[in-house]
A and B are shown apart, each in its own frame.
Chain A
Amino acid sequence: ELKVEQNPLFLSMQEGKNYTIYCNYSTTSDRLYWYRQDPGKSLESLFVLLSNGAVKQEGRLMASLDTKARLSTLHITAAVHDLSATYFCAVDYNNNDMRFGAGTRLTVKP
């Protein structure tokens, strides 16, 4: 059974600081996704990582995938308040069977 573990589950950080969210998964997969969810809203796609070594960047967020380690990271650079949200990683297990992590609730404080 595929398990997807994110850590930390809660993250409070100061504006301007850097931090990394980790996503570990238990079964081989080379398709991993990051989503963002704002309070009261649905999920929107941030990154799609489709191969080992894939790295994607958008603004202050950078995601990477190491399929051998079964690990993806979401790195936050110089955090700003607008990044406050809940971030989910999801692993595509056996085509169409997407498993989600529990989510990381990020709060960026001034």
Chain B
Amino acid sequence: DVKVTQSSRYLVKRTGEKVFLECVQDMDHENMFWYRQDPGLGLRLIYFSYDVKMKEKGDIPEGYSVSREKKERFSLILESASTNQTSMYLCASTPIQGAGELFFGEGSRLTVL
């Protein structure tokens, strides 16, 4: 089974802190994604990556950056956390050759005080 692991299930940070959310997948998938999930808004794409060191902006990249130094790892960075970034963050991956369905991690619930 594909396993997508997010390093932290729950985080509480203060406004202005730098936040790292880590995601690792073990199935050699080329594509990796970061979404945030908010009630009533569904999932919104922050960034995605289709290869090492490659990244593309999604719908809501402002206030976020990403890093993909290794194929299996995709990190989301909040340079200076703000309260409006309190949310559930979901990492996902999918292979290039496939039906396109996403495999999700368990999610990281971030609270910014």
Partner-B contacts on A (CB < 8 A): 4, 6, 9, 31, 33, 35, 41-45, 48, 50, 88, 90, 92, 96-103
Contact = CB atoms under 8 A, between A and B. Distances in A.
Contact of A50 (B42, B50, B99): B99
User: For chain B, what secondary structure do more than half of its interface residues adopt (helix, strand, loop), or is it mixed?
Assistant: strand
Interface of B: 31, 33, 35, 40-45, 48, 50, 56, 58, 90, 94, 99-107
Contact of A102 (B42, B45, B50, B103): B42
Contact of B43 (A41, A88, A96): A88
Contact of A45 (B43, B50, B58, B103): B103
Nearest to B33: A98
User: For chain A, what secondary structure do more than half of its interface residues adopt (helix, strand, loop), or is it mixed?
Assistant: strand
10 contacts: A4-B42, A42-B104, A42-B105, A43-B43, A48-B100, A48-B101, A90-B102, A96-B56, A100-B44, A101-B42
Contact of B90 (A6, A43, A97, A101): A43
B84 to A, nearest CB: 19
A35 B94 CA distance: 14
Contacts of B107: 41-42
